[in-house]
Amino acid sequence: MNMSSRKSAYTESIVQGILGLVTGFATTLKHLFRRPITEQYPEYRRPLPARSRARIILTRDPDGDERCVACYLCSAVCPVSCISMQSAEREDGRRYARWFRINFARCIYCGFCEEACPTLAIQLTPHFETCQRDILTLVAEKEDLLVDHGGKNNEYNFYSHAGVAMLGDKGSHIGEDAPVDPKSNLP
Amino acid sequence: MVVWAVGILLLVIKLGIVMVTLLLGAAYLVLAERKLLGRLQIRYGPNRAGPFGLLQPIADTVKMMLKEDTVPQSADRVIFLIAPAVVATAALLIFAVVPFGNTLTISGVRIPLVISDLNIGLLYVFALSSIGVYGVALGGWASNSKYSLLGAIRGAAQMISYELSLGLSLVPVVMMSRSFSLVDIVNSQAACPFILLLPVSFMLFFVSSMAEIKRIPFDLPEAENELGAGYHTEYSGMRFGLFFLGEYVNMVVLGALITVFFLGGWRGPLLPPLVWFVIKVLCIVFLMIWTRGTLPRLRYDQLMQLGWKALVPISLVNIIITGSLILLRGS
């Protein structure tokens, strides 16, 4: 009894071993005739999600003005300190960056600058092919960064509700109610 | 005198053709293996250099020629420099006794399509495959690196163990053909290739030869994950290239040997003998690549267990059974 059961276990293990080998070889042979799943990169560029983080741009308002108000929030939040700028002010009181520089050799594409930006000016794009032979060509100036569209949100205009010096009287700003006269409001 | 000179000339021409074919074959075998392996893993493999990546071997060769040939400071210089050549030479020399076609007759001159019909061809093959072990062992030892040394020790142990079953698995073939000459072995398969008569020997020889040339389920001497690159860790440039070349020439040579011993050599219907020979060798080579794409590496103890506890006893029993059958039929 013991002898025969040991014998059957032995044949069992042989069958298992052969089956294992055959299934392995059959699987690889089947794969030989399958279409490769490789995406051939330079010929085929997989469309990336709109929110994937790569090269940084500076966007514009719907009316064509620069959105950036040179508040330094992006440069402050940047963990590798790759953003620098010089702020200035126009005659109408609107602030802008006299120069704006991103060192892409140092940028880690974390997207903190985009999160910090109050005006949606600085944004990350899916465009990742930014390799250069000379590391200094990776330093982008303002004119390299500026684009002619609003990026992820074309309608948003920060200056239609905030950010400029009040020139007119109270209540004259867009979307602002006329001031309430506390004395006329008596019961 | 003239006959003698013509003989020498023919030999040199044959040598040249075989040598160039083998080296080119080995180079393109690398590409074929990478491509096939890629397809087995549902990817393309190299396809950038030239159409279908056909210039890849040339690009690789140029790269290896141009690389710096470094010698570790504490290496045993002379042995370190010689070892790769031993491997490549031993692999190339085996092909000298392999008949790759029928005897050609060009304007009355008979040209046997074998470089040298040695009457102890089979022993010569074993002798050279043993010399190949020296390349591995010396290369690994001379590098003076722990990974190389471990790889070399594994290589030597593995190749010596499997040589036993390699040799024993061919004893039935010699008994059937009554000759050590590879030409005679092919001729005695005129009626029926030995794979049909001696399937067990074929399996034994195939497995042992895979171990002998360190192909994937038995590639412990160069196990990348544990040993870096094993015995050729410290080699660079064309010296590494020679190890690599030797490995792939070995693949062709073993394909040729299996063809000669079990598949009837160049014999086959319709097609010319040389074409049959090439087809059979390529089939064996495909089998090796397919195995590489399928099986994982053995552990060291499993390797030794398979060699000493399975292959050697089976081949001994195989010899006894085949011998008694031959005796029974003869009486």
Residue B52 contacts A where some CB pair is shorter than 8 Å = no
In chain B, what is the greatest distance between 2 CA atoms, to the nearest angstrom?
67
In a domain, B161, yes or no: yes
Q: How does DSSP assign B225-278, residue by residue?
A: HHHTTGGGTT--HHHHHHHHHHHHHHHHHHHHHHHHHHS-TT--SSS-HHHHHH
Instruction: Calculate how close chain B gets to A33, using CA atoms only, in Å.
Output: 8
Query: What are the strands, taking DSSP E only, across B82-213?
Result: 104-106, 109-111
Counted domains in chain B: 1
What is the pLDDT, as a whole number, of residue A150?
A: 86
Instruction: Give yes or no for residue A186 having a pLDDT over 70.
Output: yes
Find the CB nearest A31 among B40, B47, B295.
B40
What is the pLDDT, as a whole number, of residue A163?
A: 63
pLDDT in tens, chain B (331 residues): 777 888 888 888 888 888 898 888 888 888 999 999 888 888 888 888 888 888 888 888 898 889 888 888 888 888 888 888 888 888 888 888 888 877 777 777 777 777 777 888 888 888 888 888 888 888 888 888 888 888 888 888 888 888 888 889 989 888 888 888 888 888 888 888 888 888 888 999 999 888 888 887 888 777 777 787 778 888 888 888 888 888 888 888 888 889 888 888 788 788 888 888 889 889 999 999 999 888 888 888 888 888 899 889 999 999 999 989 988 987 6
In a domain, B42, yes or no: no
Give the separation between CA A57 and CA B88, rounded to whole angstroms. 57
Give the separation between CA A6 and CA A22, rounded to whole angstroms. 24
H helix or E strand, kind and range, residue B156: helix B146-177
Give the separation between CA B34 and CA B38, rounded to whole angstroms. 6
For B197-216, the pLDDT digits (tens) are 888 889 999 998 888 888 87
Q: What is the pLDDT averaged over residues A39-61?
A: 89
Whether the model clears a pTM of 0.90, i.e. scores above it, the answer is: no
In a domain, B272, yes or no: yes
In a domain, B271, yes or no: yes
For A85-142, the pLDDT digits (tens) are 999 988 877 888 999 999 999 999 999 999 999 888 999 999 888 888 998 899 999 9
Contacts of B236 (CB under 8 A, 6+ apart): B67, B68, B69, B70
B36 and A32 within 8 Å at the Cβ level: the answer is yes
Residues of A in contact with B40 (CB under 8 A): 28, 31-32
Give the domain range for residue B121: 68-101+116-330
| B-chain residue closest to A41, CA distance | B48
| pLDDT tier for residue A1 given thresholds of 50, 70 and 90 | low
A56-160 — its CATH code?
3.30.70.3270
What is the pLDDT, as a whole number, of residue A164?
A: 64
Domain positions in chain A are 56-160
Find the CB nearest B294 among A25, A35, A36.
A25
In a domain, B318, yes or no: yes
Q: Report the mean per-residue pLDDT for chain A.
A: 86
Find the CB nearest A28 among B43, B47, B293.
B293
Give ipTM to 2 decimals: 0.76
Percent composition of chain B: helix, strand, coil (DSSP 3-state, to 5): 75, 0, 25
Q: Report the mean per-residue pLDDT for chain B.
A: 85
Instruction: Give yes or no for residue A3 having a pLDDT over 70.
Output: no
In a domain, B150, yes or no: yes
What is the pLDDT, as a whole number, of residue A178?
A: 82
